[in-house]
Amino acid sequence: MQQYNVQGFIKTGSDRVDEALGGGLARGALTQIFGEKGVGKSLLALQIACYVVSRGRSSVILDTEQSYKHLLGWLPSFNRRFGKQIKVVWTRVERDIKRKKASEVKAALEALFSQLKMPIDQSKIQAILWIISPDVNLSYEREKEPAIYIISSPYIRDILHIHGIRADISSSSGGRVEVRMLPGMIVDVLSSPLGELIKSVKADVLIYDSLSMPFKSTFISTQDLPARSATLAMLLSQAQKLCNSLNIAILAINHTSENPSNPYERSKPYGGKIVGYDFKFSYEMVNLTKGSKCSEQRRAIVVHRHLLMPPYSKNTEVLITNEGFV
């Protein structure tokens, strides 16, 4: 099996995309690609994950938008293109309550709601599970060959905990979201459920798709910004330790943050100064194609931040075909 050998970078499966990124995804660093919805960010993330597997290493995707069941319709195209039948392993976030699985307790709670003729509210059930069992694990069946391991969870508390961050999210009497650290607080990320998964399956890349969605759905108003910033800083700190310790590449797919008072201002990634500081490599993906009926879709990848290039100094055009990004 031919291995990619560009030292310090993970290749994307597209020479043009690699050129746009200055060689590929940098190992040991956080990289983000942000842009408008529907521009192709998730497609590129899946392509990278597939290409890494085709070259002999696993990929891990944290699917916070729960969209990959649909996106995997591209998998046959990538199988043909990269010459390998790529396997996908769905990895579940589970809680153990004494000796019973959380799924059994959840089923019992749903039955209770039904008996009481109450609507089944999944958010309330998740809150109950968190109270009676805050510890989580990642449950999966490891493949003998490299594969894509997908963790599908939109819950910020689950995401924090699999990174080794013990925190509870609650609302104050004034409606402000508050983050409360639990006993044990932050543990070594290499011993966290996510760290153990990456080591066990020998993954070369970790993808957050998207970074912004769980934060947008949890920290809604402007009064929640301090809690959002603190939580995002803790998460990215653990992510940075992961990629430094294991020499992997981490890619975060992110949304744009617009300034309604100045429509001519350049788009910025969601997350404010925390994101601007922690991501050493940041790129914006822009749609250059008018309409959606063209057989080839044109995109531009614009350097937003790069350790070796000035901001906005490079703008590379790439194409999306029925084989993905080429």
CA dihedral for 288, 292, 293, 295, sign (positive or negative) = positive
pLDDT tens track for 247-270: 999 999 999 987 666 666 778 999
Per-residue pLDDT at 7 exceeds 60: no
pLDDT band at 55 (very low <50, low <70, confident <90, very high): very high
Distance from C-alpha of 302 to C-alpha of 10, rounded to nearest angstrom = 19
Distance from C-alpha of 6 to C-alpha of 9, rounded to nearest angstrom = 6
Distance from C-alpha of 49 to C-alpha of 258, rounded to nearest angstrom = 29
Q: Average pLDDT over the chain, rounded to whole?
A: 88
- Assigned domain for 308 exists: yes
The number of domains in the chain is 1
pLDDT tens track for 112-124: 878 888 887 776 6
pLDDT value for 140: 96
- Assigned domain for 14 exists: yes
Q: Write the CATH number for 229.
A: 3.40.50.300
Per-residue pLDDT at 210 exceeds 60: yes
- Assigned domain for 257 exists: yes
For residues 53-65, give the mean pLDDT: 98
- Assigned domain for 140 exists: no
Q: Where is pLDDT greater, at 94 or 5? A: 94
pLDDT band at 50 (very low <50, low <70, confident <90, very high): very high
What Cα–Cα distance (Å) separates residue 33 from each residue in 47, 132, 145, 268, 270? 14, 38, 29, 11, 11
Pairing assessment for the beta strands 88-94 and 315-321 based on DSSP bridges: unpaired
- Assigned domain for 28 exists: yes
Q: Where is pLDDT greater, at 6 or 224? A: 224
Q: Where is pLDDT greater, at 265 or 159? A: 159
What Cα–Cα distance (Å) separates residue 273 from each residue in 121, 126, 229, 230, 268? 35, 31, 9, 11, 10
Dmax over CA atoms of the chain, in Å, equals 63
- Assigned domain for 185 exists: no
pLDDT value for 134: 55
212 and 270 in contact (C-beta within 8 Å)?
yes
Q: Residue 256 sits in which domain range?
A: 9-92+146-154+204-214+225-325
Retrieve residue 302's tokens.
């614009």
Per-residue pLDDT at 291 exceeds 80: no
- Assigned domain for 127 exists: no
- Assigned domain for 159 exists: no
pLDDT value for 313: 92
What Cα–Cα distance (Å) separates residue 259 from each residue in 102, 232, 252, 275, 276? 42, 21, 22, 17, 16
Q: Where is pLDDT greater, at 2 or 324? A: 324
Which of 198, 185, 188 has the alpha carbon at shortest distance from 134?
185
pLDDT value for 167: 85
The pTM score is: 0.86
Pairing assessment for the beta strands 30-35 and 297-305 based on DSSP bridges: unpaired
pLDDT value for 273: 86
Q: 3-class SS at 78?
A: helix
